[in-house]
């Protein structure tokens, strides 16, 4: 039950922060959903760091990792908003924006995880 509470609290914090960041930024660039893009990339970077630090000499406890990676990063990033925004592009026949946003989100997200893992391993 403790682990469920940790995920719940981390997810709530991540979701609230995602809302605070993405809401104003999605209005600024209405044709790109910059806010969702940024929180997803930052979330990928953070989970790379968190999981890298967690596996490096057990610097984080399993409960801390659960709170931060599963809870916070899970609540902070959002695949459902990502999918809805892709649907919006297709519905409006914006194939270029659909392709750019999809490819950039996936490619840069993977690179952000790798960068986070790499940074967490510096100093060995």
Residues that constitute the known binding site for Na(+): 74, 77
Biggest alpha carbon distance in the chain? 50
Q: Which has the closest alpha carbon to 44: 100, 121, 2, 106? A: 106
User: How many CA within 13 A on the CB side of residue 88?
Assistant: 12
Q: Which has the closest alpha carbon to 47: 8, 83, 14, 9? A: 14
Pairwise CA distance, residues 57 & 32, whole Å: 40
Report the binding-site residues: 74, 77
Q: Which has the closest alpha carbon to 107: 57, 41, 24? A: 41
Tokens 């599963």 found at: 70
């Amino acid at each position: 039950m403790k682990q469920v509470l940790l995920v719940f609290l981390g997810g709530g914090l991540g979701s609230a922060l995602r809302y605070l960041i993405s809401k104003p930024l999605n209005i600024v660039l209405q044709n790109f959903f910059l806010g969702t893009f940024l929180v997803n990339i930052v979330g990928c970077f953070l989970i790379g760091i968190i999981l890298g630090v967690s596996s490096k000499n057990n610097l984080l406890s399993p409960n801390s990792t659960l709170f931060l990676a599963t809870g916070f990063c899970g609540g902070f990033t959002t695949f459902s908003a990502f999918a809805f925004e892709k649907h919006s592009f297709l519905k409006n026949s914006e194939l270029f924006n659909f392709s750019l946003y999809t490819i950039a989100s996936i490619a840069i997200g993977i690179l952000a995880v790798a960068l986070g893992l790499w940074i967490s391993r510096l100093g060995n």
